C-alpha cells in the first residue's frame, strides 16, 4: 500500500520529484508502513522528502494496482497537498540520497517524465482536485 501527495501551483501544474534510484519521476510519497494509516504515511513522506510539515487536504484518488511479476497487488492513495506559491516552495529540502530535484510539471511533462501508470494517476488526481471529486481507479484508469 502506498500514499502520495499532489501539490499544485497557481497554474495547476503538479510538483514532481526525481528519485536518484529510478528512471522516472514521481509525486511525493511512498510505502505505508506496518500499522500506519495512509494519510499519516503521506504526511510522513512529505516531511522526509521535502522537509515540510503539512496538513493534508482531501483524498483525491484511490488506485488499485494489479500484481506484476516483481510485485504484489497494491492500493495507492493520493491526497491534496494544496497549492504552493514561491514562499511555499522556498523551504523545500530534498534528501540528496533519495531525490535529485523537483519541478512544476504540466500534463505534457507529466506524461514525458512519469511511467504511464503514474501519469494516469497524477492526471486523474489533478482532475479530481479541480472537479471536487474522488476518483476510483484501477491501474490508473477510472472505474465507471
Check whether 144 has a pLDDT greater than 90: no
* Torsion over CA: 41, 124, 63, 57 (sign): positive
Q: What is the pLDDT of residue 71?
A: 86
Split at pLDDT 50, 70, 90, the class of 15 is very high
Provide the 3-class DSSP secondary structure of residue 42.
helix
The CATH fold assigned to 2-142 is: Nucleoside Triphosphate Pyrophosphohydrolase (3.90.79)
Which of these, 84, 78, 90, lies nearest to 13 by C-alpha position? 84
Hey, what's the cell of 70? 516483481
Nearest-angstrom CA–CA distance, 28 and 23:
15
Over residues 49-102, the pLDDT tens digits come to 999 999 999 999 999 999 989 889 999 999 999 999 999 999 999 999 999 999
**Spatial contact of 99 and 92, defined as CB atoms under 8 Å apart:** no
Hey, what's the cell of 62? 484511490
**Containing H/E element for 116?**
helix 116-131
Amino acid at each position: 500500500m502506498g500514499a502520495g501527495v499532489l501539490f499544485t501551483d497557481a497554474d495547476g501544474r503538479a510538483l514532481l520529484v526525481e528519485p536518484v534510484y529510478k528512471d522516472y519521476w514521481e509525486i511525493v510519497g511512498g510505502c505505508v508502513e506496518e500499522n500506519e494509516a495512509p494519510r499519516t504515511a503521506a504526511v510522513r513522506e512529505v516531511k522526509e522528502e521535502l522537509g515540510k510539515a503539512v496538513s493534508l487536504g482531501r483524498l483525491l484518488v484511490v488506485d488499485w494496482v494489479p500484481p506484476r511479476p516483481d510485485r504484489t497487488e497494491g492500493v495507492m492513495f493520493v491526497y491534496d497537498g494544496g497549492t504552493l506559491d514561491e514562499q511555499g516552495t522556498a523551504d523545500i529540502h530534498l534528501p540528496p540520497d533519495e531525490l535529485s530535484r523537483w519541478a512544476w510539471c504540466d500534463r505534457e511533462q507529466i506524461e514525458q517524465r512519469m511511467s504511464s501508470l503514474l501519469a494516469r494517476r497524477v492526471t486523474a488526481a489533478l482532475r479530481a482536485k479541480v472537479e471536487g471529486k474522488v476518483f476510483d481507479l484501477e491501474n490508473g484508469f477510472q472505474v465507471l
